[in-house]
Amino acid sequence: MSIVLAAVGAFPPVPSLAQAAPRTGDWPAYGHDAGGTRYSPLAEITPGNVARLRVAWVYRTGDYLRDRSRFEAAPLVVDGTLYVSTPLGHVIALDPERGIERWRYDARVSLEGDYGDFANRGVATWLDQTRGTALPCRRRIFLATVDARLIALDARTGRPCGDFGAGGEVDLAGGLRHAPAYHWEYGVTSPPAVASGLVIVGAAVSDNQRVDAPEGVVRAFDARSGRLRWSWDPVPPALSAGAANAWSVLSTDPERDLVFVPTGSASPDFFGGERPGANAHANSVVALRASTGRLVWAFQVVHHDLWDYDVPAQPVLFTLRRGGSALPAVAVGTKMGHLFILDRRTGAPLFPVEERAVPGSDVPGEAAWPTQPFPAPALRLAPESLAAADAFGTTPDARRQCRDRIAALRYDGVFTPPSLRGTIIFPGDIGGMNWSGVAVDEGRGVLIAPTNRLAMVVTLIPRDSVMAARHAHPNSEISTQRGTPYGMMRDMLLDSAGMPCNPPPWGTLAAVDLAAARAKWEVPLGAYPGGMAGSINLGGAMITAAGLVFIAGTFDRHLRAFDETTGRELWSAGLPAGAQALPVTYLAGGRQYVVVAAGGHDRLHTTMGDYVVAFTLPGAGAPVPDTTDAPVEGAYTGQIRVGGAAIGLDLTIGTMADSLTGLVGRIDSIRVTGPVTVRRTGRSVTIRAPFDYPAKRCAGTITATGEQWNGARLLEGDVEVSGSCGGGPPEHGTFALWRR
């Protein structure tokens, strides 16, 4: 059955609002504008001069973790200030010209627990037009935390807005039908949306733990008071399942009073026997009336999801110009690599969508949906087939391993259901497209899409065999899926050396001609370890009016610029850590800047960090990164972070004769038992302190080695804890100390 829009003429064309912004030089929302186009009208940096871009400034947040943080924030720039947020709950205001800190706020997010997705993708902002310009909280910064709080801050000072919720925050974990079983089961990883005087949030819910997971309710709170105004639940209360949560970025259409919600799978992901039917409104893009929460329309991209094929990407609003008409459209990127272009007034497809038969399930108790929606071939941006003959390997033995493994698993094309023998999911749950989403230049009629091509393997495990599987596969992801007959095991389809078994490229950047629904170009994006072209990527692309596409996101830690017309790479720069984040651009002091957060990704195993890196063109008045040595003596306060522990520390560094000394004024939980030594070489500083831990009756030595950052206002680096407390090899962590 084909679904084709036939009567678009019933609606008059409207001018585009998606790419309008309050100030052309600002970046006021996650995707630049309310519709998430990721398009900036700035054009000082051009294809002709982009090769001259250089680092303007580097700022470190102090929230560096070695193993599990995902600093994925897209900074906002509005009213002459840059705002950036971290997974640990810090919001920081910076001078956008120099990267100098103006204020910072600490939401004190706990490090304890396995959050699953310990991420933050940014903040939102709202200007209260009814409040006097001199009054606090006229402009508010909204932070939604990974531990399920919504916080309103005064944009000028960083202080909580006391009239919002309870002392500036709202508890998002309260009032759910299915209460979180532990504090990290339910939280928020993406910025809220703001519309109609409301701040609107979805949630991230831990995958595959239980049928009755917390529900994926979307809620709207009054932007002034924090009072709940409406809520919408994608899962009917009569169904025992939960989730179907909107963990990614929402979009709004203020003119039509609409908010666009991308939803995920109902719980759990890989067995749907306890949630029969299509699971309508899960795996969908849903249009709600922004002022009331009333459902306007929904378009489901996967029926009865069994593959973790959430709608991961922000729905992008734009005007489609085709055949003399201007149509209000929404682009929906999916993990399958399917791109759906819909009329944003009705949800009707603007290009043909066909319901096609797909493979059935062979698992007792499962009833896979018999058909799935497929867009036109040019809008399917990832491979949908993988045979043993396609197996990749860097050596003959590796190729044989992959060929044998593919042959032993079930795979009958995209939408092959999970099985007891093991099923290849290709594209895997990382995409196709993921939260990186797509960018749209509606003036040129071009959509830019980064994609991934990495196969996964999902195996269903009978309930009585889950513990045995955990012992047999200690390095695999295994979840219980409580309430169903089966647990699940998920792995990447790799050879014994860790290389993907499906052929490269494993990541691409593509351009689509929107009017004609055809591919313009596609190129491998970055490099995979070992030098193979085309890297798995997360972060997304940004387009400028000059015809440049900026994107990071790859394993090889580079920010790149491509020619929007041809796909040719014009410039790249190495970064100090993985940049799994969306680059942004803005105007400050008459100069165009490009900024990206480089924090690394624990599961992609890119280099970890906490950097905000800004680039601009050289010339008179261009800032230069501050890398000069400065005196280290002074009073500091901060934390040592090891595992889930955050140990508060006050330290004064002084001079005695020709040596540096350290005096600890406070250190939480443990006790310093001897002299604290301090040594420095250039910007590098090493601090060593013996300690005992009365609660555990053990002792050891803390060695902290780091560097001066942020104009010598921050000491930050790595920590090694040796001694009897860990019961084994030295433990490793990080530290951050700020000058008082």
Question: Tens of pLDDT along 687-704?
Answer: 999 999 998 889 999 999
Is 341 within the bounds of a domain? Answer: no
Amino acid making up residue 161: C
List the catalytic residues: 308
Average pLDDT, the chain: 94
More confident residue, 649 or 2: 649
More confident residue, 236 or 467: 467
Structure tokens belonging to residue 213: 């997971």
Q: Quick one: average pLDDT of 511-522? A: 96
Residue-level pLDDT at 643: 85
| Residue range 323-357, pLDDT digits in tens | 889 999 999 999 999 999 999 999 999 999 999 99
Q: Does residue 9 have a pLDDT over 90?
A: no
Residue-level pLDDT at 628: 82
> What distances in angstroms separate CA 411 from CA 32, 275, 401, 495, one per listed residue?
40, 24, 17, 18
> What distances in angstroms separate CA 223 from CA 120, 261, 293, 620, one per listed residue?
21, 19, 15, 42
Q: Does residue 114 have a pLDDT over 90?
A: no
Structure tokens belonging to residue 380: 């399917």
Percent pLDDT > 70 in the chain is 97
Residue-level pLDDT at 10: 34
DSSP 8-state assignment for residue 23: S
Residue-level pLDDT at 645: 87
Residue-level pLDDT at 14: 40
Is 648 within the bounds of a domain? Answer: yes
Residue-level pLDDT at 3: 33
Residue-level pLDDT at 67: 85
pLDDT band at 20 (very low <50, low <70, confident <90, very high): very low
| Residue range 545-581, pLDDT digits in tens | 999 999 999 999 999 999 999 999 999 999 999 999 9
Q: Does residue 437 have a pLDDT over 70?
A: yes
Q: Does residue 1 have a pLDDT over 60?
A: no
Sign of the Cα torsion 407, 409, 411, 414 reads negative
Beta bridge mates, 480:
none
- Alpha carbon distance 55, 37 (integer Å): 26
CA angle, 143 then 145 then 148, to 5°: 120
Is 482 within the bounds of a domain? Answer: no
Residue-level pLDDT at 562: 98
Residues sharing a CB contact under 8 Å with residue 605, sequence separation 6 or more, in sequence order? none
Q: Quick one: average pLDDT of 203-207? A: 95
Is 233 within the bounds of a domain? Answer: no
Q: 727: left (phi > 0), else alpha (psi -120 to 50), else beta?
A: left
* 535 neighbors 555 (Cβ within 8 angstroms): yes
- Sole residue written with tokens 């050396």: 497
Percent pLDDT > 90 in the chain is 89
Nearest to 420 by CA among 463, 476, 362, 472: 362
| Residue range 177-201, pLDDT digits in tens | 999 998 889 999 999 999 999 999 9
| Residue range 131-143, pLDDT digits in tens | 999 999 999 999 9
- Indicate the SS3 state at residue 299: strand
Q: Does residue 5 have a pLDDT over 50?
A: no
505: preceding bond cis by omega (within 30 degrees): yes
Residue-level pLDDT at 531: 83
Residues sharing a CB contact under 8 Å with residue 272, sequence separation 6 or more, in sequence order? 266, 279, 304, 305, 306, 366, 367, 368
Q: Quick one: average pLDDT of 655-675? A: 91
Helix residue ranges per DSSP H, 53-134: none
| Residue range 230-258, pLDDT digits in tens | 999 999 888 889 999 999 999 999 999 99
Residue-level pLDDT at 239: 82
- Sole residue written with tokens 């309103």: 152
Residues sharing a CB contact under 8 Å with residue 102, sequence separation 6 or more, in sequence order? 81, 93, 94, 95
Q: Does residue 656 have a pLDDT over 90?
A: no
Report how many domains make up the chain. Answer: 1
Is 436 within the bounds of a domain? Answer: no
Nearest to 418 by CA among 308, 336, 265: 308
Is 355 within the bounds of a domain? Answer: no
* 39 neighbors 32 (Cβ within 8 angstroms): yes
Residue-level pLDDT at 68: 82
Is 3 within the bounds of a domain? Answer: no
Q: Does residue 112 have a pLDDT over 90?
A: no
432: preceding bond cis by omega (within 30 degrees): yes
- Alpha carbon distance 536, 688 (integer Å): 39
Residue 731: give the domain boundaries. Answer: 634-739
Is 699 within the bounds of a domain? Answer: yes
Q: Does residue 379 have a pLDDT over 80?
A: yes
